[in-house]
Amino acid sequence: MASVIVCHACDLAHGRDPVLPAARVRCVRCGAEMYRTNGASIDSAIALSLSAAVLLLLSNVYPMVTLELGGSFRATTLLGAALALYGQGYVPVAALVLLTSLLAPLFEIGALLYMLIPLRRRERAPGQNEVFRALSRIRPWAMSEVFMLGALVALVKLAALAHVIPGVSLFSYGALMLVLSALTSIAPGEQFWRWVEGRHL
Amino acid sequence: MTTGRALGLLVCTACRATLRAAGATPCLCPRCGARVHPRKPNSLATTASLLASAALLYIPANLLPVMHMQTFFDVEDDTILSGVLTLIQEGEWPLALLVFIASIVVPLLKILAMTWLLLSVHRGWRGSIRARSRLFRLVEYVGRWSMLDVFAISLLVSLVQISSLATVQVGVGALAFGAVVVLTMLAAQSFDERLLWDADDRG
C-alpha cells in the first residue's frame, strides 16, 4: 500500500519515492502539498508545545492593552475581549472570538502534549486517534495571527482617542503566534505518523 | 495519469494516508480511524447552501453598524466601510487598506469565487482546472483574515465600554459579519477540490 500515494486535492496517484527524512512533496498535477516531513525530533515538538503553553498562560494573566483616559486607567485581557461581547448580549460573536483566540490554540497545545509525551516513552495515549482527528478539525479555527493584527488595528484606532500602553500579553501572544506556526509546520501531519510508526505503535 | 479512484484507492481527509477501498464506502482509515469517503458527501449541495446564506448575510453585515461610539461631542454609528473611511481620514492609509481588503474584499471575493467554482463543477467545465484549483486554495487561505475587524471591535469594546469619556457598544452588523466569516469558512471546508478534476478524469 505504501508504494502508491494519492493526492488529497486532485486524486492523482503517484508512485511513492523512497521515504526521505526531510521532504516537501507536491502533487505533479495540481501542485498541492501532499505531505511534508523535516526529520524534526519529537523532543523539539514537545519543547515547542511547552513554550506555547507558557506563552498562552502569560497572555491570559497579564493585560493586553491598557488605556489611559483622562487620568484613569482601563486594561483588557485576552479573555476580556470575548467577555465584553458576551456582556453586551452578543453571545454567538463572543463564542466565536473565544474559540478562535483562546480555546482553539489551547486545544491545539493540549492535544499535542497529550499525544506526544506518551509517544516519547513509546506509549500510545488513550484515544490518540480521536484526539488527532479532533485536532485536524479544530486547527482551521485557531486564528492567533489574525487576532494579533486585529489588536494592532484596535491600538491604532484608540491611539487617536487616548494614550495606549501595550501590555505583556500583547508580546507573549505575538510570540505564541510564532511558536504555533513553527509547531504546525512540524508536528501534526506526516511527521507525527512517522514518530508513531518509528516506535512501532 | 491514473487516479486513486481508478485504482480503488482513497485518501483519508484527516491524516492523508492512502488506503485501499475495501468493499462498501465509507471505510475506516487504518492509520487514524477517520471515516473515509471517495468524495466528501453532498459536497456541492452543502457548499451551495452555506454560500447562499453567506451571500444573504453579506448585505446586513455591510449595511448595519458594527459599532456605536458615544462621546461628549457626538454619537457615531460605524459600519465596516465607515470604519475604513475614518482610518483614511486619520491618515492611516496602510491600515485602512488592510481592513478594507480583509473585511470587504475578501468575503466578497470568497462568495463570488466559490459560486464560480460550484457552477464550473455543476456544468462539468474542463478548461483551466489548475487555475481554478489555485483560486480555491487562495480563497481557503485568506478566508480567516476576515475575522480581523471582529477582533479589533471586541478589543475596542472591552477597553472603552463605559468610561468617563466615551461609550462603545457592539452593533448588530457584527453578528451578521461574524456569521458571514463562519459560513464562508464552512463552505470552503465542505467543498471537495477533487470535483474540479473529476470532469477531466472522466475522459
Cα dihedral A176, A182, A183, A189 in deg (nearest 10): 150
Task: Name the pLDDT band for B165 (thresholds 50, 70, 90).
Answer: low
Calpha distance B46→B176 (Å, rounded):
20
Same domain, B63 and B126: yes
Do A59 and A18 lie in one domain? The reply is: no
- pLDDT score, position A12: 93
Strands (DSSP E) found in A124-184: 163-166
The whole domain housing A21 covers 1-38
Its pTM stands at 0.91
Q: Are residues A104 and A26 in the same domain?
A: no
How far apart are alpha carbons A104 and A52 in whole angstroms?
13
What's the rounded mean pLDDT across residues B46-66? Answer: 96
Same domain, yes or no: B93 and B27: no
pLDDT at residue A18 in the model: 67
pLDDT of A112-129, one tens digit each? Answer: 999 999 999 999 999 999
Number of domains in chain B: 2
Does A18 share its domain with A99? no
pLDDT tens, B57-77? 999 999 999 988 887 777 888
CA B176/CA B107 separation, integer angstroms:
12
Q: CB distance B151–A160 less than 8 Å?
A: no
Cβ-Cβ contacts under 8 Å, A31 against chain B: 130, 133-134
The pLDDT mean for chain A works out to 90
Optimal mutation site among B159, B160, B184, B194, interface A, most CBs of chain A within 10 A: B159
Contact B33 A97 (CB under 8 A): no
pLDDT band at A186 (very low <50, low <70, confident <90, very high): confident
Task: Convert the pLDDT of each residue in B67-105 to its tens digit.
Answer: 888 877 778 888 999 989 988 998 889 889 999 999 999
**Which residue in A157, A85, A67 sits closest to B82, CA to CA?**
A157
Interface predicted TM-score (ipTM): 0.90
Same domain, B17 and B51: no
B91, three cell numbers: 491618515
SS3 label, residue B77? strand
**Domain extent for B82:** 42-201
- Say whether both A72 and A169 belong to one domain: yes
As a whole-number percent, the residues of chain A with pLDDT over 90 amount to 61
Instruction: Please tell me whether residues A169 and A107 are part of one structural domain.
Output: yes
